[in-house]
A and B are shown apart, each in its own frame.
Chain A
Amino acid sequence: MSTGTASNRPRYAPLAPDPRARAHLLVTDHQDIAEAAFAPGIGLADFPERWDVVAHARVLPEPFGGPGVQHFRSASHLLALLRHRLAAETMGLRLYVTGSEPFVWDAARVAIEAGMGREEMRLFATGKPVRRVSCVHCRTINPGVTTTLVTCAGCGVVLTVRDHFSRVHNAWMGVQCDAEVPGEVPAIEDLSA
Protein backbone atom coordinates (compact mmCIF):
# COMPACT_ATOMS: atom_id res chain seq x y z
CA MET A 1 0.00 0.00 0.00
CA SER A 2 2.86 2.35 0.71
CA THR A 3 4.75 1.48 -2.43
CA GLY A 4 3.95 1.96 -6.08
CA THR A 5 1.61 4.89 -5.47
CA ALA A 6 2.26 8.49 -6.42
CA SER A 7 4.44 10.25 -3.87
CA ASN A 8 4.43 13.90 -2.95
CA ARG A 9 7.41 13.64 -0.60
CA PRO A 10 9.30 16.92 -0.37
CA ARG A 11 12.49 17.30 -2.38
CA TYR A 12 15.12 19.55 -0.86
CA ALA A 13 17.84 21.50 -2.59
CA PRO A 14 21.09 22.07 -0.63
CA LEU A 15 21.28 25.58 0.85
CA ALA A 16 23.09 28.53 -0.69
CA PRO A 17 22.55 32.22 0.08
CA ASP A 18 20.29 34.00 -2.40
CA PRO A 19 22.49 36.77 -3.85
CA ARG A 20 19.44 38.97 -4.46
CA ALA A 21 18.44 39.10 -0.79
CA ARG A 22 18.96 42.07 1.54
CA ALA A 23 19.48 39.89 4.63
CA HIS A 24 19.81 36.22 5.49
CA LEU A 25 18.87 34.18 8.55
CA LEU A 26 19.77 30.49 8.94
CA VAL A 27 17.92 28.49 11.60
CA THR A 28 18.38 24.86 12.65
CA ASP A 29 17.23 22.59 15.46
CA HIS A 30 20.67 20.94 15.53
CA GLN A 31 23.89 22.19 17.03
CA ASP A 32 26.05 20.93 14.18
CA ILE A 33 24.85 21.22 10.61
CA ALA A 34 25.67 18.40 8.19
CA GLU A 35 27.88 19.43 5.28
CA ALA A 36 25.29 17.84 2.99
CA ALA A 37 22.91 20.69 3.88
CA PHE A 38 25.01 23.13 1.86
CA ALA A 39 25.53 23.44 -1.88
CA PRO A 40 29.07 22.76 -3.14
CA GLY A 41 31.48 25.51 -2.07
CA ILE A 42 29.01 26.87 0.51
CA GLY A 43 29.45 26.60 4.27
CA LEU A 44 28.42 28.05 7.61
CA ALA A 45 30.53 31.14 7.01
CA ASP A 46 28.23 32.13 4.14
CA PHE A 47 25.43 32.62 6.69
CA PRO A 48 26.63 35.24 9.17
CA GLU A 49 23.42 35.21 11.22
CA ARG A 50 22.58 31.76 12.58
CA TRP A 51 20.20 30.42 15.17
CA ASP A 52 20.71 26.91 16.55
CA VAL A 53 19.56 24.74 19.45
CA VAL A 54 21.93 23.96 22.32
CA ALA A 55 20.09 22.20 25.13
CA HIS A 56 22.00 23.74 28.02
CA ALA A 57 22.57 27.18 26.55
CA ARG A 58 23.01 29.63 29.43
CA VAL A 59 22.99 32.93 27.59
CA LEU A 60 19.63 34.39 26.61
CA PRO A 61 19.39 34.60 22.83
CA GLU A 62 18.83 38.01 21.24
CA PRO A 63 16.40 37.66 18.31
CA PHE A 64 17.26 41.13 17.00
CA GLY A 65 20.98 40.73 17.54
CA GLY A 66 22.08 40.78 13.89
CA PRO A 67 25.14 38.84 12.68
CA GLY A 68 26.43 36.16 15.01
CA VAL A 69 25.21 32.86 16.41
CA GLN A 70 22.34 32.68 18.87
CA HIS A 71 21.74 29.53 20.93
CA PHE A 72 18.21 28.49 21.91
CA ARG A 73 17.41 25.84 24.52
CA SER A 74 14.82 24.05 22.38
CA ALA A 75 13.21 24.08 18.94
CA SER A 76 10.03 25.49 20.54
CA HIS A 77 12.03 28.32 22.09
CA LEU A 78 13.61 29.09 18.72
CA LEU A 79 10.31 29.02 16.82
CA ALA A 80 8.59 31.30 19.33
CA LEU A 81 11.29 33.94 18.95
CA LEU A 82 11.39 33.42 15.18
CA ARG A 83 7.71 34.41 15.10
CA HIS A 84 8.54 37.52 17.13
CA ARG A 85 11.48 38.40 14.87
CA LEU A 86 9.59 37.94 11.58
CA ALA A 87 6.71 40.11 12.78
CA ALA A 88 9.17 43.03 12.88
CA GLU A 89 11.07 42.22 9.67
CA THR A 90 10.87 44.10 6.41
CA MET A 91 10.89 42.79 2.84
CA GLY A 92 14.12 41.39 1.43
CA LEU A 93 14.89 38.74 4.10
CA ARG A 94 15.55 35.12 3.13
CA LEU A 95 15.06 32.38 5.70
CA TYR A 96 17.11 29.18 5.44
CA VAL A 97 15.99 26.22 7.53
CA THR A 98 17.78 22.93 8.07
CA GLY A 99 17.38 20.14 10.59
CA SER A 100 14.83 17.44 11.24
CA GLU A 101 11.91 17.40 8.83
CA PRO A 102 9.23 18.26 11.43
CA PHE A 103 11.28 21.28 12.55
CA VAL A 104 11.90 22.41 8.97
CA TRP A 105 8.19 22.51 8.20
CA ASP A 106 7.30 24.06 11.58
CA ALA A 107 9.67 26.89 10.75
CA ALA A 108 8.19 27.15 7.25
CA ARG A 109 4.74 27.52 8.82
CA VAL A 110 5.96 30.35 11.07
CA ALA A 111 7.43 32.09 8.01
CA ILE A 112 4.25 31.65 5.94
CA GLU A 113 2.16 33.05 8.79
CA ALA A 114 4.49 36.06 8.84
CA GLY A 115 3.71 36.63 5.16
CA MET A 116 6.75 35.02 3.55
CA GLY A 117 6.27 33.14 0.30
CA ARG A 118 7.99 29.93 -0.74
CA GLU A 119 10.47 31.93 -2.83
CA GLU A 120 11.66 33.70 0.33
CA MET A 121 12.64 30.54 2.19
CA ARG A 122 14.96 27.61 1.52
CA LEU A 123 14.41 24.32 3.32
CA PHE A 124 16.68 21.30 3.75
CA ALA A 125 15.80 18.35 5.98
CA THR A 126 18.73 16.27 7.17
CA GLY A 127 19.33 13.14 9.21
CA LYS A 128 17.53 9.84 9.41
CA PRO A 129 13.79 10.20 8.78
CA VAL A 130 11.86 11.04 11.94
CA ARG A 131 8.28 11.73 10.96
CA ARG A 132 5.08 13.00 12.43
CA VAL A 133 2.34 10.60 11.34
CA SER A 134 -1.29 11.65 11.29
CA CYS A 135 -3.80 8.83 11.82
CA VAL A 136 -6.56 9.23 9.20
CA HIS A 137 -8.96 7.27 11.45
CA CYS A 138 -8.72 9.25 14.71
CA ARG A 139 -6.72 12.41 13.76
CA THR A 140 -4.02 11.72 16.35
CA ILE A 141 -0.57 13.04 15.48
CA ASN A 142 2.11 10.45 16.33
CA PRO A 143 5.50 12.15 16.62
CA GLY A 144 8.95 10.62 16.25
CA VAL A 145 8.08 7.76 13.89
CA THR A 146 11.12 6.03 12.33
CA THR A 147 9.57 2.83 10.98
CA THR A 148 7.07 1.94 8.24
CA LEU A 149 4.56 0.63 10.80
CA VAL A 150 3.52 2.36 14.01
CA THR A 151 0.81 1.76 16.58
CA CYS A 152 -1.42 4.85 16.77
CA ALA A 153 -1.28 6.44 20.21
CA GLY A 154 -4.91 7.54 19.78
CA CYS A 155 -6.90 4.52 18.57
CA GLY A 156 -4.40 1.69 18.85
CA VAL A 157 -4.51 0.39 15.27
CA VAL A 158 -1.27 -0.40 13.49
CA LEU A 159 -0.70 2.29 10.87
CA THR A 160 1.35 2.03 7.72
CA VAL A 161 3.11 5.31 6.90
CA ARG A 162 2.09 6.24 3.37
CA ASP A 163 4.35 8.23 1.09
CA HIS A 164 2.09 11.24 1.37
CA PHE A 165 3.12 14.41 3.21
CA SER A 166 0.85 17.27 4.21
CA ARG A 167 2.75 20.57 4.10
CA VAL A 168 -0.15 22.23 5.90
CA HIS A 169 -0.31 19.75 8.78
CA ASN A 170 3.40 18.95 8.69
CA ALA A 171 2.57 15.24 8.98
CA TRP A 172 2.68 12.06 6.96
CA MET A 173 -0.46 10.05 6.31
CA GLY A 174 -0.96 6.93 8.45
CA VAL A 175 -3.58 4.36 7.43
CA GLN A 176 -4.51 1.09 9.19
CA CYS A 177 -2.05 -1.37 7.67
CA ASP A 178 -4.50 -4.25 7.20
CA ALA A 179 -7.50 -2.13 6.19
CA GLU A 180 -7.81 -3.83 2.80
CA VAL A 181 -7.21 -7.44 3.88
CA PRO A 182 -7.75 -7.90 7.66
CA GLY A 183 -4.85 -9.70 9.27
CA GLU A 184 -2.44 -9.12 6.40
CA VAL A 185 0.27 -7.08 8.12
CA PRO A 186 3.35 -6.15 6.07
CA ALA A 187 6.87 -6.52 7.46
CA ILE A 188 8.15 -3.55 9.46
CA GLU A 189 11.12 -1.64 8.05
CA ASP A 190 13.02 1.55 8.81
CA LEU A 191 11.67 4.61 6.97
CA SER A 192 13.89 5.65 4.09
CA ALA A 193 14.79 9.23 3.26
Chain B
Amino acid sequence: MTNARTLHLKVARADGIAPTLRRVHLVAADGARLPPAAPGAHITLTLPAPAGGRPFHNSYTLVSADPEAGYEVIVRLSDRSRGGSRHVHESLAPGDMIEATAPHNLFALHSQAKKHLLIGGGIGVTPMIAFVTYLREQGASFELHQIAAPAEVGVFEALLALRTGERIHIHAGRDAFGLTALLAAQPLGTHVYTCGPAGLMDGVEASAAALGWPETHVHREDFGAAGGEPFVLRLAASGIDIAVAGDQTMLEAIEAAGVDTPSLCRGGACGVCMLPVSEGTPEHRDHYLSEAERGAGCLVMPCVSRSRSATLVLDI
Protein backbone atom coordinates (compact mmCIF):
# COMPACT_ATOMS: atom_id res chain seq x y z
CA MET B 1 0.00 0.00 0.00
CA THR B 2 2.90 2.36 0.50
CA ASN B 3 3.52 4.56 -2.52
CA ALA B 4 4.24 8.18 -3.36
CA ARG B 5 0.62 9.09 -2.67
CA THR B 6 0.52 7.54 0.78
CA LEU B 7 -0.21 10.17 3.40
CA HIS B 8 1.43 9.95 6.79
CA LEU B 9 -1.08 11.27 9.28
CA LYS B 10 -1.13 11.86 13.01
CA VAL B 11 -4.19 11.60 15.23
CA ALA B 12 -4.78 15.08 16.67
CA ARG B 13 -7.98 14.23 18.53
CA ALA B 14 -10.29 11.25 18.93
CA ASP B 15 -13.63 11.79 20.68
CA GLY B 16 -16.53 9.47 21.36
CA ILE B 17 -19.68 11.27 20.18
CA ALA B 18 -22.08 8.36 20.80
CA PRO B 19 -21.63 4.85 22.23
CA THR B 20 -20.69 3.46 18.79
CA LEU B 21 -19.46 6.62 17.03
CA ARG B 22 -15.98 8.06 17.31
CA ARG B 23 -14.81 11.21 15.56
CA VAL B 24 -11.12 11.25 14.62
CA HIS B 25 -9.25 14.38 13.60
CA LEU B 26 -6.15 13.68 11.51
CA VAL B 27 -3.35 16.09 10.57
CA ALA B 28 -0.20 15.66 8.48
CA ALA B 29 2.51 13.98 10.55
CA ASP B 30 5.10 16.50 9.31
CA GLY B 31 2.78 19.52 9.64
CA ALA B 32 2.72 20.08 5.86
CA ARG B 33 -0.42 20.89 3.91
CA LEU B 34 -2.68 17.96 3.08
CA PRO B 35 -4.21 17.44 -0.37
CA PRO B 36 -7.56 19.21 -0.72
CA ALA B 37 -10.72 17.14 -1.10
CA ALA B 38 -14.17 17.96 -2.45
CA PRO B 39 -17.24 16.96 -0.40
CA GLY B 40 -18.04 13.26 -0.78
CA ALA B 41 -14.37 12.21 -0.92
CA HIS B 42 -13.00 9.37 1.18
CA ILE B 43 -9.60 8.16 2.35
CA THR B 44 -8.51 4.60 3.03
CA LEU B 45 -6.80 4.13 6.39
CA THR B 46 -4.32 1.36 7.08
CA LEU B 47 -5.32 -0.03 10.47
CA PRO B 48 -3.32 -2.65 12.38
CA ALA B 49 -4.90 -6.06 12.82
CA PRO B 50 -4.91 -7.76 16.21
CA ALA B 51 -2.04 -10.16 16.96
CA GLY B 52 0.15 -8.89 14.15
CA GLY B 53 -2.05 -10.06 11.27
CA ARG B 54 -2.10 -8.29 7.92
CA PRO B 55 -3.42 -4.75 8.38
CA PHE B 56 -6.95 -3.73 7.35
CA HIS B 57 -7.61 -1.11 4.69
CA ASN B 58 -10.85 0.61 5.59
CA SER B 59 -12.35 3.51 3.64
CA TYR B 60 -13.97 6.40 5.48
CA THR B 61 -15.71 9.47 4.11
CA LEU B 62 -14.17 12.80 5.08
CA VAL B 63 -16.74 14.80 7.03
CA SER B 64 -14.43 17.78 6.72
CA ALA B 65 -11.20 18.26 4.80
CA ASP B 66 -8.99 21.30 5.01
CA PRO B 67 -5.35 21.33 3.87
CA GLU B 68 -4.35 23.28 6.98
CA ALA B 69 -6.75 22.09 9.65
CA GLY B 70 -6.70 18.43 8.61
CA TYR B 71 -9.24 15.71 7.91
CA GLU B 72 -12.08 14.46 10.07
CA VAL B 73 -13.71 11.04 9.85
CA ILE B 74 -16.46 9.45 11.96
CA VAL B 75 -16.14 5.74 12.55
CA ARG B 76 -19.02 3.47 13.59
CA LEU B 77 -18.03 0.48 15.73
CA SER B 78 -19.25 -2.41 13.64
CA ASP B 79 -20.92 -5.42 15.33
CA ARG B 80 -19.11 -7.57 12.86
CA SER B 81 -15.85 -5.69 13.14
CA ARG B 82 -12.90 -7.82 12.18
CA GLY B 83 -10.69 -5.35 13.96
CA GLY B 84 -10.63 -2.17 11.87
CA SER B 85 -13.35 -0.13 13.54
CA ARG B 86 -12.61 -1.87 16.90
CA HIS B 87 -9.05 -0.57 16.70
CA VAL B 88 -10.30 2.97 16.04
CA HIS B 89 -12.70 2.76 18.99
CA GLU B 90 -10.58 0.96 21.55
CA SER B 91 -6.91 1.63 20.79
CA LEU B 92 -6.47 4.75 18.68
CA ALA B 93 -5.20 7.71 20.71
CA PRO B 94 -3.95 11.24 20.04
CA GLY B 95 -0.38 11.17 18.79
CA ASP B 96 -0.76 7.83 16.96
CA MET B 97 0.63 7.71 13.45
CA ILE B 98 -1.56 6.30 10.70
CA GLU B 99 -1.12 5.79 6.96
CA ALA B 100 -3.80 6.75 4.48
CA THR B 101 -4.35 7.08 0.76
CA ALA B 102 -4.80 10.51 -0.74
CA PRO B 103 -8.51 11.47 -0.92
CA HIS B 104 -10.56 10.03 -3.77
CA ASN B 105 -14.05 11.07 -4.71
CA LEU B 106 -16.60 8.64 -6.12
CA PHE B 107 -19.59 10.52 -4.69
CA ALA B 108 -19.26 14.06 -5.99
CA LEU B 109 -22.02 16.66 -6.09
CA HIS B 110 -23.28 17.42 -9.60
CA SER B 111 -22.32 20.97 -10.50
CA GLN B 112 -25.30 21.53 -12.84
CA ALA B 113 -27.98 20.41 -10.37
CA LYS B 114 -30.72 22.93 -9.59
CA LYS B 115 -31.37 21.21 -6.29
CA HIS B 116 -29.59 18.56 -4.23
CA LEU B 117 -31.76 16.02 -2.39
CA LEU B 118 -29.71 14.18 0.26
CA ILE B 119 -30.96 10.94 1.82
CA GLY B 120 -28.76 9.39 4.50
CA GLY B 121 -29.24 6.36 6.69
CA GLY B 122 -27.28 5.77 9.91
CA ILE B 123 -23.53 6.24 9.49
CA GLY B 124 -24.32 7.29 5.90
CA VAL B 125 -24.60 10.71 7.54
CA THR B 126 -20.86 11.26 7.02
CA PRO B 127 -20.90 12.44 3.37
CA MET B 128 -24.13 14.33 4.13
CA ILE B 129 -22.28 16.44 6.73
CA ALA B 130 -19.64 17.32 4.11
CA PHE B 131 -22.34 18.07 1.51
CA VAL B 132 -24.39 20.28 3.85
CA THR B 133 -21.28 22.27 4.83
CA TYR B 134 -20.41 22.87 1.18
CA LEU B 135 -23.95 23.58 -0.04
CA ARG B 136 -24.45 26.12 2.77
CA GLU B 137 -21.27 27.91 1.70
CA GLN B 138 -22.44 27.93 -1.92
CA GLY B 139 -25.95 29.08 -1.06
CA ALA B 140 -27.22 26.15 -3.13
CA SER B 141 -30.69 24.66 -2.87
CA PHE B 142 -30.73 21.43 -0.87
CA GLU B 143 -32.91 19.23 1.30
CA LEU B 144 -31.64 16.53 3.66
CA HIS B 145 -33.54 13.58 5.06
CA GLN B 146 -31.43 11.64 7.53
CA ILE B 147 -32.64 8.46 9.16
CA ALA B 148 -31.25 7.79 12.63
CA ALA B 149 -31.81 5.30 15.40
CA PRO B 150 -34.11 7.02 17.94
CA ALA B 151 -31.30 7.17 20.50
CA GLU B 152 -29.00 8.97 18.04
CA VAL B 153 -31.36 11.68 16.75
CA GLY B 154 -29.83 14.24 19.12
CA VAL B 155 -26.28 13.27 18.12
CA PHE B 156 -27.10 13.73 14.43
CA GLU B 157 -28.82 17.06 15.09
CA ALA B 158 -25.63 18.27 16.75
CA LEU B 159 -23.42 16.94 13.93
CA LEU B 160 -25.48 18.73 11.30
CA ALA B 161 -25.69 21.93 13.37
CA LEU B 162 -29.35 22.47 12.43
CA ARG B 163 -30.29 25.98 11.44
CA THR B 164 -33.76 27.40 11.25
CA GLY B 165 -35.20 27.78 7.78
CA GLU B 166 -33.22 24.90 6.32
CA ARG B 167 -34.86 21.78 4.99
CA ILE B 168 -32.98 19.32 7.20
CA HIS B 169 -35.13 16.54 8.63
CA ILE B 170 -33.87 13.85 10.98
CA HIS B 171 -36.23 10.90 11.11
CA ALA B 172 -36.25 8.39 13.97
CA GLY B 173 -36.38 5.22 11.87
CA ARG B 174 -37.22 4.61 8.24
CA ASP B 175 -40.95 4.26 8.86
CA ALA B 176 -41.14 7.95 9.73
CA PHE B 177 -40.22 8.87 6.21
CA GLY B 178 -42.24 8.81 2.95
CA LEU B 179 -39.70 8.12 0.26
CA THR B 180 -41.99 7.89 -2.78
CA ALA B 181 -43.88 11.08 -1.98
CA LEU B 182 -40.59 12.89 -1.40
CA LEU B 183 -39.11 11.81 -4.74
CA ALA B 184 -42.38 12.53 -6.58
CA ALA B 185 -42.37 16.14 -5.36
CA GLN B 186 -38.90 17.09 -6.62
CA PRO B 187 -38.58 19.82 -9.26
CA LEU B 188 -36.84 19.30 -12.59
CA GLY B 189 -33.07 19.48 -12.25
CA THR B 190 -32.92 17.71 -8.88
CA HIS B 191 -30.12 15.23 -8.18
CA VAL B 192 -30.54 12.74 -5.35
CA TYR B 193 -27.59 11.41 -3.32
CA THR B 194 -28.00 8.50 -0.96
CA CYS B 195 -25.67 6.78 1.47
CA GLY B 196 -26.64 4.21 4.04
CA PRO B 197 -27.85 0.61 4.30
CA ALA B 198 -28.21 -1.21 0.97
CA GLY B 199 -31.98 -1.55 1.54
CA LEU B 200 -32.42 2.21 1.80
CA MET B 201 -30.25 2.95 -1.23
CA ASP B 202 -31.94 0.24 -3.31
CA GLY B 203 -35.28 1.77 -2.28
CA VAL B 204 -34.17 5.23 -3.42
CA GLU B 205 -32.95 3.85 -6.76
CA ALA B 206 -36.09 1.79 -7.36
CA SER B 207 -38.51 4.57 -6.38
CA ALA B 208 -36.66 7.14 -8.49
CA ALA B 209 -36.63 4.79 -11.50
CA ALA B 210 -40.36 4.06 -11.09
CA LEU B 211 -41.04 7.82 -11.09
CA GLY B 212 -39.08 8.28 -14.32
CA TRP B 213 -35.90 9.82 -12.90
CA PRO B 214 -32.98 9.30 -15.28
CA GLU B 215 -30.15 7.22 -13.78
CA THR B 216 -27.78 10.15 -14.21
CA HIS B 217 -29.64 12.03 -11.45
CA VAL B 218 -29.36 9.25 -8.85
CA HIS B 219 -26.07 8.87 -6.94
CA ARG B 220 -25.21 6.34 -4.26
CA GLU B 221 -22.23 5.58 -2.08
CA ASP B 222 -21.78 2.24 -0.48
CA PHE B 223 -18.99 0.79 1.52
CA GLY B 224 -19.07 -2.56 3.19
CA ALA B 225 -21.43 -5.34 2.11
CA ALA B 226 -18.60 -7.76 2.90
CA GLY B 227 -19.19 -11.22 4.24
CA GLY B 228 -20.81 -14.38 2.94
CA GLU B 229 -19.96 -18.05 2.47
CA PRO B 230 -16.28 -19.02 2.59
CA PHE B 231 -14.77 -20.25 -0.69
CA VAL B 232 -11.44 -21.16 -2.24
CA LEU B 233 -9.66 -18.78 -4.55
CA ARG B 234 -7.15 -20.27 -6.97
CA LEU B 235 -4.63 -17.92 -8.53
CA ALA B 236 -3.81 -19.82 -11.72
CA ALA B 237 -0.73 -17.88 -12.82
CA SER B 238 0.78 -17.75 -9.32
CA GLY B 239 -0.14 -21.38 -8.63
CA ILE B 240 -1.58 -20.79 -5.16
CA ASP B 241 -4.87 -21.59 -3.44
CA ILE B 242 -6.25 -19.13 -0.90
CA ALA B 243 -9.09 -19.78 1.55
CA VAL B 244 -11.42 -16.75 1.67
CA ALA B 245 -13.08 -16.66 5.08
CA GLY B 246 -16.73 -15.66 5.48
CA ASP B 247 -15.85 -12.35 7.12
CA GLN B 248 -13.04 -11.48 4.73
CA THR B 249 -13.13 -9.98 1.25
CA MET B 250 -11.47 -11.63 -1.72
CA LEU B 251 -9.14 -8.64 -2.00
CA GLU B 252 -8.12 -8.91 1.65
CA ALA B 253 -7.47 -12.64 1.23
CA ILE B 254 -5.28 -11.99 -1.82
CA GLU B 255 -3.35 -9.33 0.09
CA ALA B 256 -3.05 -11.59 3.14
CA ALA B 257 -1.45 -14.21 0.89
CA GLY B 258 1.23 -11.66 0.04
CA VAL B 259 0.10 -11.04 -3.55
CA ASP B 260 0.18 -7.37 -4.53
CA THR B 261 -2.80 -6.24 -6.56
CA PRO B 262 -3.95 -2.68 -7.23
CA SER B 263 -7.02 -1.30 -5.46
CA LEU B 264 -8.53 2.08 -4.75
CA CYS B 265 -12.03 2.58 -3.34
CA ARG B 266 -12.47 -0.93 -1.96
CA GLY B 267 -16.20 -0.39 -2.33
CA GLY B 268 -16.96 -1.79 -5.79
CA ALA B 269 -17.21 1.59 -7.46
CA CYS B 270 -13.92 2.59 -9.06
CA GLY B 271 -12.91 -0.49 -11.10
CA VAL B 272 -9.21 -0.37 -10.21
CA CYS B 273 -9.04 -3.81 -8.57
CA MET B 274 -10.78 -5.67 -11.44
CA LEU B 275 -9.36 -9.17 -12.05
CA PRO B 276 -9.85 -11.78 -14.81
CA VAL B 277 -11.84 -14.94 -13.98
CA SER B 278 -10.99 -18.17 -15.81
CA GLU B 279 -13.25 -20.68 -13.96
CA GLY B 280 -16.08 -20.57 -11.45
CA THR B 281 -19.09 -18.26 -11.02
CA PRO B 282 -18.58 -14.87 -9.39
CA GLU B 283 -21.26 -13.34 -7.17
CA HIS B 284 -21.10 -9.74 -8.33
CA ARG B 285 -21.71 -7.07 -5.67
CA ASP B 286 -20.01 -4.11 -7.35
CA HIS B 287 -21.48 -1.10 -9.14
CA TYR B 288 -18.80 -0.98 -11.82
CA LEU B 289 -19.34 -3.89 -14.23
CA SER B 290 -22.16 -3.63 -16.77
CA GLU B 291 -24.88 -6.27 -16.99
CA ALA B 292 -23.18 -7.62 -20.15
CA GLU B 293 -19.82 -7.88 -18.39
CA ARG B 294 -21.45 -9.67 -15.45
CA GLY B 295 -23.17 -12.07 -17.81
CA ALA B 296 -19.89 -12.91 -19.50
CA GLY B 297 -18.47 -13.84 -16.08
CA CYS B 298 -14.89 -13.11 -17.13
CA LEU B 299 -14.22 -10.23 -14.72
CA VAL B 300 -14.67 -9.71 -11.01
CA MET B 301 -14.16 -6.89 -8.51
CA PRO B 302 -12.49 -8.66 -5.56
CA CYS B 303 -13.04 -5.79 -3.11
CA VAL B 304 -16.77 -6.57 -2.67
CA SER B 305 -17.72 -9.53 -4.88
CA ARG B 306 -17.59 -13.18 -3.83
CA SER B 307 -18.04 -16.61 -5.42
CA ARG B 308 -21.15 -18.73 -6.00
CA SER B 309 -19.00 -21.76 -6.79
CA ALA B 310 -16.89 -23.46 -4.11
CA THR B 311 -13.77 -22.49 -6.06
CA LEU B 312 -13.12 -19.40 -8.12
CA VAL B 313 -10.09 -19.42 -10.43
CA LEU B 314 -8.47 -16.10 -11.28
CA ASP B 315 -6.02 -15.63 -14.11
CA ILE B 316 -3.32 -13.90 -12.05
Contact = CB atoms under 8 A, between A and B. Distances in A.
Contacts of B212: 18, 20-23, 91-94
A86 B188 contact: yes
Best-surrounded residue of A21, A91, A93, A119 (most CB of chain B within 10 A) = A91
Interface in B222-250: none
B184 interface: yes
A109 to B, nearest CB: 14
B188 A93 contact: yes
A114 B189 contact: yes
Interface of A: 18, 20-23, 86, 89-94, 114-117, 119-120
A119 B186 contact: no
B216 A119 contact: yes
Contacts of A23: 212
A111 to B, nearest CB: 8
B214 A90 contact: no
B185 A90 contact: yes
A14 B59 CA distance: 46
B216 A90 contact: no
Contact of A117 (B115, B185, B187, B216): B216
Given A91-B183, A91-B211, A92-B211, A116 B188 contact: yes
B209 A91 contact: no
- Say whether chain A's binding surface is mostly helix, strand, loop, or mixed: loop
Contacts of B33: none
B189 A90 contact: no
A117 B189 CA distance: 7
A100 to B, nearest CB: 25
Contact of B190 (A18, A20, A22, A115): A115
Interface residues of B, number: 21
List of 4 A-B pairs having minimum Cβ-Cβ separation, nearest first: A115-B189, A92-B212, A22-B212, A115-B114
A119 B212 CA distance: 11
Nearest to B192: A91
18 contacts: A20-B209, A22-B211, A22-B212, A90-B184, A90-B186, A91-B183, A91-B188, A91-B211, A91-B212, A91-B213, A91-B217, A92-B184, A92-B211, A92-B212, A94-B212, A114-B189, A116-B189, A119-B215
Contacts of B214: 20, 117, 119-120
A117 B112 CA distance: 9
A27 to B, nearest CB: 15
B188 A90 contact: yes
B114 A91 contact: no
Best-surrounded residue of B115, B183, B208, B212 (most CB of chain A within 10 A) = B212
A81 B23 CA distance: 51
A120 B218 CA distance: 13
A117 B217 contact: yes
A115 B187 contact: yes
Contacts of A91: 183, 186-188, 190, 208, 211-213, 217
A119 B209 CA distance: 14
Nearest to B209: A20
